[in-house]
Structure 1
């Protein structure tokens, strides 16, 4: 089965369709409840691709389909978590109001919205923080609020644009483990964009390597055992092998046999 399908996607900015594209002939599929990481260097077109998937940009050609239905605008079954959590949260709203904000536009009744908000905050370890304001929280906690808001929306597909790039290494590891926990709990399909090789290997079922202009240069299946943890998984012999394979793909160099 296919949850999300990207078919020969192409995006060119400006009036000249023959100009250098930001995304070129991009095709891949994501299955239900699969965790796929998109790995690529800065400037390769990852964010443009993600905006097209989310219905925030219209492609120049090609198509994105969710449940076999073309995406022509933001789909109701999809949520997007941005990298810059400080700009995606409303500083004048409490944490619980930030989380419940999209539910009002989805037409969720107040009682149900309150319950979904409380559950989502508990899921990311922020139970009891609903009355606080974002500016009263650390960067890692603010990103938890952003993830909680997406979870409360109950999306079938969760898109994430380098969501942990702006936090320190320890907080990043904690958020990676948190994401894996909520992914199992909510059984959501996740498409996670990153430029961090270790993060991609640690999180994903599959890793797609993007080369500029954004097209799939390599697909790697990650067979590391689940559940995963920072010490055991990253100490697994296959972790180093996968990391080397992906690093070579990003550098466009062959992998030496060990």
Structure 2
């Protein structure tokens, strides 16, 4: 009868709607992203759980210079620890100064951004270079001058103003770290290399809660909006630091004062 037909039609519509709703597949990756060059590929070891599940794995090769083609590689799988990652489909540079060159002539050179990812095309050969981030000053005095200029730059001031606009407290020392303290730190911690010290100019962000801090961190990671570059991102909030304090450390790079 008519009532039964209407009920069946209604059920068919509900079933149709249910079929239209598709869940998003969860993205699963094996391995840890660490500073330097990170390669993503698939393990081919038949006795490896990640390989059998067809899960992509990340392989870190540290700070180095390498040449590779997608299918002519042999890297250690982080799961089975066998050198059976024989194809690479992606490279991520993390917390490093890096360059990438492809055999078709394309390249991206001397990038200081804390994280960049590039697809690896099977028909090309690539040269990848990653070094630890550093300052590019000619002397300690030059480093101090550059840091002073960076801390009072319109780029930094605009970023600070953006954070303060949303109720985030930004504590900024009246001046950069003094020369005596810098000499001590450089000699004790960096073997006399002044280009390895970064907290010459610094500011601290204080947040009421973890969510506020997470938001502030993500805003700073969009530093290109303020003509800044995030050159290093270290999360010691979830992972305990050497001093056992919980904090998130971000190094901001002001290109015009490099």
TM-score, normalised by the number of residues in structure 1: 0.25
When you count helix as a share of all residues, which structure comes out higher? 1
Larger Rg computed on CA atoms? 2
When you count strand as a share of all residues, which structure comes out higher? 2
TM-score, normalised by the number of residues in structure 2: 0.25
